[in-house]
Amino acid sequence: MVQQILVPLDGSPLGKNALSVALEEYPSAEIHLLHVIDPSEPGYSYGSLGVDAYDSPQHGSDEWYARADEYADELFETAREQAADHELTTETQVGRPDREIVRYIETNDIDHVILGSHGRDRESLTLVGGVAEAVVFRSPVRVTLVK
């Protein structure tokens, strides 16, 4: 049976590191990538889409969600480049990231989760971010945190 690995992506360097770990340590696994659009986060980052806070569409508008979806597509494309020939399953959800990650685990028979220890940059003094901490405590499967 092929192992099912979930790697939640938020655009942080640690998310990219988590995907590297999944690819290196589980080369024969089916890797699922999940990006969660958090509607409660008005400062949602659009990555390299070139959108700054003053150019951003109104929070919660159709355009805001469209840009968030575009950003998710960009994350997945970058991940596909990183994964080279490894096939990836991708999905975008809207909601609280910790809840959506656990829901995805439960509904997709995930065996293991590998995620960044927090969504901030590497220089952060926070050892474990709020989303990572919640996933660790609520996950019904093993979770590996990557720094």
- Rounded percentage of the chain residues whose pLDDT exceeds 70: 80
Confidence check: pLDDT of 146 > 90 = yes
CATH number of 118's domain: 3.40.50.620
pTM (2 decimals)?
Answer: 0.86
pLDDT at 56: 63
Please compute the mean of the pLDDT values over residues 6-12 and round it to a whole number: 93
Q: How far apart are CA 34 and CA 72, in angstroms?
A: 9
- Under a CB-based contact definition with an 8 Å cutoff, are residues 104 and 110 in contact? yes
Segments forming the whole domain that contains residue 49: 4-146
Q: What sign results for the dihedral spanned by CA atoms 66, 48, 128, 143?
A: positive
Domain count across the chain: 1
Q: What is the pLDDT of residues 81-125, one digit of tens each?
A: 999 989 999 999 999 999 999 999 999 999 999 999 865 444 444
Q: Which long-range contacts (CB under 8 A, 24 or more apart) does 20-25 make?
A: 20/82, 21/114, 21/144, 21/146, 22/114, 23/82, 23/83, 23/86
- Under a CB-based contact definition with an 8 Å cutoff, are residues 71 and 49 in contact? yes
97-107 and 130-138 helices cross at what angle (nearest 10)? 30
